């Protein structure tokens, strides 16, 4: 097996900044990247995705990519796509593919989760058809050429009446392009599909996935796409009404909307994850690992959302702001807790104040000052709690009778 040479191009209007998110689009067997034209136009017009870099890659012997005479696998095609991405600047990316393109996208997500940020599979699957059916297709093309597939493809690719409604439009142009596909390259692609099966890898897939199907698709049916989504943790499946196998061409506006939603959801989730990690680091630094471990261990399904909110916003946002040092935030927190009478949290933040660099004398000054404005009873209760914490700290620091220090 060999890795074929593929060619790709950035869609017109692609934002040049390498820091902008990258979306890689892959076509189906017998088509070129032109099937994505309508989707690309809609993504360009959507403010949420206008800054995307959109890279489209043709299959071997299709469109701009050179023909291939030697065998290759879907894994080889995935490696070839990754090579195009690296030539275009590399880095992480989202990938969307139709049918055969969807299997390549899935292969990338399974084998390179470090690179693939998001996955969209349109009218595809972890296994499509059978080895025998694809071998038969390859033999037909080798003997009669891709022109022999036009009539059958018209009925498989498009919903009833679509070609009549858009006479001379993208559907007709897609069928015309099928005739220009290199016969041997098509046959090799068909044989690669016959050897592809990632059904046993779906349960471990951690890449956010969106599955799209066409209502009238008899190749990768809505039921099979639902099964695919059910097997991928957290995946979403959407059926596009009135569409068939080339749903991205038939319903480009709807597909673009779903892709935009998917990418925005991934971006927000990534931002939330970063904030959660940052908040957890600050929370542990201020309150100590033991306290945080107890709080995390005590989390229940009912309190999980609150713990997430607390970590991301209280600790990841407010406590991590540069406007005040942590010792100053401890001063403000102790004064606020005392004033509000929140005695159950004062001990925790006396310890936090000590960890943040306050001395016992400074903590006492904070409570004394707070007494002027919060009242003597509140400050008295806070002093009592502080004395207990100081005593516990002293006891913990005393060497045990068996110590060798």
pLDDT band at 233; cut points 50, 70, 90: very high
pLDDT digit string, tens, across residues 126-137: 999 999 999 999
pLDDT at residue number 180: 94
> Distance between CA 245 and CA 218 in Å, rounded?
8
Q: What is the DSSP string of 165-234?
A: HTTTSHHHHHHHHHHHS-HHHHHHHHHHHHT---GGGGGG--S-EEEEEETT-SSS-HHHHHHHHHHSTT
pLDDT, the chain, mean: 92
pTM of the model: 0.77
**Tokens (6 digits) for 314:** 């209280």
pLDDT above 70 covers a percentage of the chain that reads: 96
Domain coordinates of the chain in residue numbers? 8-250, 322-395
Which has more pLDDT, 118 or 20? 118
pLDDT digit string, tens, across residues 14-59: 555 667 899 999 999 999 999 999 999 999 999 999 889 999 999 9
Neighbours of 241 (CB within 10 A): 12
H/E element holding 293? Answer: helix 289-297
What mean pLDDT is predicted for residues 220-239?
96
CATH code that applies to domain 8-250 = 3.40.50.1820
354 pLDDT above the threshold of 90: yes
Nearest to 62 by CA among 198, 190, 245, 220: 190
> Distance between CA 201 and CA 78 in Å, rounded?
16
Give, to the nearest 10 degrees, the angle between helix 343-355 and helix 360-374.
140
pLDDT at residue number 10: 87
404 pLDDT above the threshold of 50: no
388 pLDDT above the threshold of 90: yes
**Pairing assessment for the beta strands 116-122 and 93-98 based on DSSP bridges:** parallel
pLDDT band at 13; cut points 50, 70, 90: low
Q: Which residues pair with 209 in a beta bridge?
A: 119
pLDDT at residue number 270: 83
Name the CATH superfamily housing domain 322-395.
AhpD-like (1.20.1290.10)
> Distance between CA 342 and CA 284 in Å, rounded?
21
Nearest to 217 by CA among 198, 240, 185, 190: 240
pLDDT at residue number 18: 67
């Amino acid at each position: 097996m060999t890795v074929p040479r593929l060619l790709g191009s950035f869609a017109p209007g692609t934002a040049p900044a390498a820091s902008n998110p990258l979306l890689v689009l892959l076509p189906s067997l017998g088509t070129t990247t032109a099937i994505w034209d309508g989707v690309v136009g809609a993504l360009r017009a959507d403010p949420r995705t206008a800054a995307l870099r959109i890279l489209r890659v043709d299959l071997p012997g299709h469109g701009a990519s050179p023909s291939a005479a030697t065998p290759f696998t879907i894994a080889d095609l995935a490696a070839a796509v990754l090579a195009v991405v690296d030539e275009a600047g590399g880095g992480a990316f989202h990938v969307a593919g139709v049918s055969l393109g969807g299997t390549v996208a899935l292969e990338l997500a399974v084998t390179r989760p470090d690179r693939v940020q998001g996955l969209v599979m349109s009218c595809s699957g972890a296994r499509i058809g059978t080895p025998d059916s694809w071998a038969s297709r390859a033999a037909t093309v080798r003997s009669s050429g891709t022109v022999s597939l036009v009539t059958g493809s018209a009925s498989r690719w498009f919903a009833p009446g679509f070609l009549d409604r858009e006479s001379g439009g993208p559907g007709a142009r897609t069928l015309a392009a099928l005739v220009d596909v290199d016969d041997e390259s098509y046959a090799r692609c068909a044989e690669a599909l016959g050897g592809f099966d990632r059904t046993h890898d779906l349960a471990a897939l951690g890449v956010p996935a969106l599955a799209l199907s066409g209502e009238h698709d008899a190749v990768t049916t809505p039921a099979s796409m639902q099964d695919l989504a059910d097997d991928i943790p957290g995946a979403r499946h959407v059926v596009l009404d009135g569409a068939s196998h080339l749903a991205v061409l038939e319903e480009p506006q709807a597909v673009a909307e779903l892709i935009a939603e998917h990418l925005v959801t991934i971006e927000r989730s990534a931002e939330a994850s970063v904030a959660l990690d940052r908040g957890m680091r600050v929370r542990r630094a201020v309150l100590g690992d033991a306290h945080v471990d107890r709080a995390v261990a005590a989390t229940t399904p009912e309190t999980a959302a609150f713990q997430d909110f607390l970590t991301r916003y209280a600790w990841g946002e407010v406590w991590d702001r540069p406007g005040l040092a942590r010792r100053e935030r401890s001063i403000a927190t102790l004064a606020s807790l005392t004033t509000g009478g929140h005695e159950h949290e004062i001990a925790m933040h006396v310890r936090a104040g000590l960890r943040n660099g306050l001395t016992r004398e400074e903590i006492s000054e904070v409570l004394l000052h707070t007494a002027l404005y919060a009242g003597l009873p509140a400050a008295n209760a806070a002093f009592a709690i502080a004395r207990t914490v100081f005593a516990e700290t002293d006891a913990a620091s005393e060497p045990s009778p068996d110590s060798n220090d």
